[in-house]
Structure formats: C-alpha cells, structure tokens
Amino acid sequence: MREHAVVIAGGGPTGLMLAGELALVGVDVAIVERRPNQEIVGSRAGGLSARTLEVLDQRGVVDRFLAEGQIAQVTGFAVTRLDISDFPTRHNYGLALRQKHIERILAGWVGELPVTIYRGCELTGFVQDDTGVTVELSDDFKLRAGYLVGCDGGRSLVRKIAGIEFPGWDATTSNILAEAEMEVEPPLGVHRTVLGLHAFGREEYEIRDGKVVFASEGPVNVMVTEKSAGGTAEPTLSDFRQALIETCGTDYGIHSLRWISRFTDMSRQAEAYRKGRIFLAGDAAHVHSPVGGQGLNTGVQDAVNLGWKLAQVVKGISPESLLDSYHAERHPVAARVLRTTMAQVALQRTDDRSEALRDIVLELLAMDEPRKKIAAEMSGLAIHYDLGEGHPLLGRRMPDLDLITPDGPLRVNALLRNARAALLNFGTPSSLDITPWSARVQLVEASYDGAWELPALGAVSAPAAVLIRPDGYVAWVGEGKPDGLHEAMTTWFGPPG
C-alpha cells in the first residue's frame, strides 16, 4: 500500500489546480484519474474569468493560457455582455479557451511538479479513521492518505460514500451538446425560439471586435434546448435529431456524431465541504447550469482556497481547525453562484413575462453602477470572505500593485509565485516584527504612490500594512498600528515558531 499526504479523486481542472497548489509547497500529493490521459471529448466550459486569470498569474503560469486563448469581454449575465475594461485589474477581460485546452495546460504545469498520478483507475471506496484514509481503487490497489479530496464531479462517489447531503433544485430545462457533421449548413451563432436558446458554431473560431467568427467548414458544435427536462441518461443521436426538429424545424441532415452530452439547470450544493478527513471541491461540491461560465472557475478557486490551508495542517504548522475555514469561506461563494445562475436561466426563458423581466434587467445593466456590481460578481473579482469588520480590503483580493522595494520594482503577484504569504509594510521601515513567523511569511518593506482601487467599490484609503494569504486574499490591514497583527498571524499561519 502506497502512502501520500493527500489523495485527490479526479484530475479535472479543480483536481489539477489543487495538486499544483500542494506540490508547490512540498506536500506529497497524488491524483486518481479514471482517464488514461488528459484528453477529453467535448467541452462544456469555454473560458476563464478575470479572477481565475489573476490566480494563475499569482502562480506565474497565466501566460501559458493567454498564449492559447482569446482575450475578450466575455463576462456576462444571461444574454448580456458586461464590459469590465475599466476595472482595476491587469486582467480586465475574460479568456475564451475550451476546457480541453485548460486541462492540458494545467496538466503540463502539474507535470513539472512532484505530483503522482494514478491513471486508468477509479476510486471505488474509502474508510477514514483517526489518523488517515484508506482509499480503494478499481484495480484492487489501495492507497493510504492523511486526507482525501473529492474533485470527482457532480456525481461524486466521494461525496456519496462520505454521506454528505446534496440538496438543491431539480432541473427545469435540459440541453443537448454535440459535435457532428451536417449536410445542410446551419445558421451559425446563438438563436432564440419559443423552446429556448440554441446555437451553432465550430471548433475553430476567432474573436474580432468582440464578435465570434467561426471557421467556414468542418464539424458543427451544437447546443439545443430540449422540449422536456425529464431526461437524465446520456442522449442518443435520435434524441438529438428530435430536439433539432422541435426547435429548428429540421435536423440539417446531421450525421457522423463525434460526441454528445446533456446538461440541465439542476442546482445542488453539498451541505458540508468537509467531513473529518474528507473534503469536496469543484462540481463535487456544487452543480448548476453552465450559463454565466462560473462552474470551472469556481472549482479552480475552491482548490486555491483549500490548498494552502491543507498544506499547513499536513506540515504541522496550523491546527486542524484551520480547515474549517474552507467550508466557511467557499460555501457562501458557491451558494451565491447557484442563485445568480438560476436567475440567469429564468431570464433566458422565452415567455412574455420573462421577456418583460429581461427588458428591465437590460435597462438596469446599461447603468454604470449595476453593471459594475454584477460584472464584478460574475468575473469573480467581488469575492469577499467574512474576516471581520475594518478596512474594505479585509477579506478581499489584494490588488496586483507595482511596488517599490529596497530591491527594486516588484509586482504583488510575484510575491505569491511559491504560494507563500506576504506582509507588506508601507509605514516606517522595520516597524513590524514577525520574527516568529519569518519562515512562513515574507516581510517586504514597500511603497506605492498610486490609487488603491477595488472592482465595483472604487477607491479605498491607502493602508499602512497588508497581510496577504497565499491565495491572494487580505487577512489583516494595518492602519498605522500593528494592533491585531500577531493574532492574525497565529490564526492563519500557526502559533509562533
């Protein structure tokens, strides 16, 4: 039986990101992935949000994604595009990039780190005890781990075996996604009928002046709304033809199916993200309609929130109680994602009442303040963890400022490349003493002359010092005095060492 500090069930975007986070700080981590390689057929997710790009920037790998994706104002709410080009972030846009490419690039990064991947096998069971978890695999092999994280999707076996409830709302709409050849060229783009939305496109495309321009030939990617939301099994070519005929009046001579899948607007969330030594992240913890594009991004950010906390407990730096903050912080974020997603599904309905509601919402989102508020939320830039009252920065993402330090210019995100916390002192040099934590937290004497701005909130007062967690969120703000600093250091980075 092989042993690892952490075993991750599932090697999709969430599992890969978590493995990378743990490996960066020297934790022995393994992924169990049923696929023999990283290839996926078909893809629901099609891009990265501004906050996810910031997170990847913090780890120094964002350029790998930017090199292959297409920058565009793809942040949106229902059918409304929301411009975030005036937001105070280096990544004031979204990145159009299909999930298969996101996974491939993430896997390439993880492949450069000391991560063990057990491919071609699945988790079939596990038993946890006071000292760890025994994980059973489909090839009759067993692993022993200190902790097990279920990143195994919406039908998570980890969640089911752990006995974690998955309450929520049943589906009201159902859509088929597929790629196939068509004898008759369909009208490319997004269309609306009485049954709902449908869209035709191609794998190859360009974004020109904010508009998608598809290749002129090749297989067609199709999304079509079904008349009934009752189906749960994998759809067939016959189901697909029927849905096309009901929606478009023709099946366009569809043939040579390459892949097909079904998604609904079912919305569910795990009651608990932790049960002892078992954790859930990504779709295993929350599922919803893909409208709005928040699913993959929320999962990746789950991983970044959990990774550094799990690492500190594995290393004996922090007590087990730190792990409870994962659920406390991430559960409300996904609960809000479920609510905004359900609202977007409602706005996409085609009855007269929904049309009237959509018209009103469009009028509101054309105004600056509502646009900024909703766009900040949809792009992940408005995430705010409840870390107490105080400065507006507390619990929010740290802006990636261009700092001046004794060693020269330095970006904030460059401090986070190795997933290590940082304390920025903008006040009197050497006025903050963190000697007992110096092996865990970088102390940087810095200055910054520009404005401090947060998305949607606008300008905030310049702090005297800021304590930044490895996930890029502000854990303490000094406003002239070091009051509470040592308490915050102990809370997040363990007792004095």
Of the candidates 213, 212, 267, which has an alpha carbon nearest to the alpha carbon of residue 81? 212
Express each pLDDT in 391-443 by its tens digit. 999 999 999 999 999 999 999 999 999 999 999 999 999 899 999 999 999 99
Structural domain contains residue 394: no
Coil/strand/helix, residue 191 = strand
Task: Say whether both 145 and 181 belong to one domain.
Answer: no
Domain count of the fold of the chain: 3
pLDDT of residue 14: 98
Structural domain contains residue 146: yes
Average pLDDT score, the chain:
93
Task: Say whether both 181 and 63 belong to one domain.
Answer: no
Domain holding 437, by residue range, is 402-493
Structural domain contains residue 329: yes
Structural domain contains residue 391: no
Which of 240-244, 416-420, 480-484 is modeled with the greatest confidence? Answer: 416-420
Residue 174 has pLDDT above 70, yes or no: yes
Of the candidates 100, 120, 114, 99, which has an alpha carbon nearest to the alpha carbon of residue 33? 120
Q: Which residues contact 390 (CB under 8 A, 6 or more apart)?
A: 477
Express each pLDDT in 65-121 by its tens digit. 999 999 998 888 987 889 999 999 999 999 999 999 999 999 999 999 999 999 999
Rg (C-alpha) for the chain, rounded Å, is 23
Structural domain contains residue 194: yes
- Structural domain ending residue among the three candidates 264, 295, 318: 264
- Structural domain ending residue among the three candidates 264, 294, 312: 264
Express each pLDDT in 23-71 by its tens digit. 999 999 999 999 988 877 666 667 999 999 999 999 999 999 999 999 9
Which CATH number belongs to the domain containing residue 471 in this structure? Answer: 3.40.30.120
What gap in Å lies between CA 232 and CA 171, rounded to an integer? Answer: 10
Q: Which percentage of the chain shows pLDDT scores above 70?
A: 98
Structural domain contains residue 453: yes
- Structural domain ending residue among the three candidates 264, 288, 315: 264
Express each pLDDT in 354-404 by its tens digit. 889 999 999 999 999 999 999 999 999 999 999 999 999 999 999 999 999
Task: Say whether both 139 and 211 belong to one domain.
Answer: no
Which CATH number belongs to the domain containing residue 240 in this structure? Answer: 3.30.70.2450
pLDDT of residue 373: 96
Task: Say whether both 257 and 336 belong to one domain.
Answer: no
pLDDT band for position 230 (cuts 50, 70, 90): low
What gap in Å lies between CA 8 and CA 152, rounded to an integer? Answer: 9
Structural domain contains residue 259: yes
Structural domain contains residue 392: no
Which CATH number belongs to the domain containing residue 52 in this structure? Answer: 3.50.50.60
Task: Say whether both 162 and 183 belong to one domain.
Answer: no
Task: Say whether both 157 and 181 belong to one domain.
Answer: no
pLDDT of residue 43: 63
Task: Say whether both 129 and 38 belong to one domain.
Answer: yes
Task: Say whether both 246 and 291 belong to one domain.
Answer: no
Task: Say whether both 337 and 234 belong to one domain.
Answer: no
Q: Averaged over 151-168, what is the pLDDT?
A: 97
What gap in Å lies between CA 431 and CA 232, rounded to an integer? Answer: 62
Task: Say whether both 121 and 81 belong to one domain.
Answer: yes
Task: Say whether both 259 and 272 belong to one domain.
Answer: no
Residue 13 has φ and ψ, to the nearest 5°, of -55, -40
Task: Say whether both 234 and 107 belong to one domain.
Answer: no
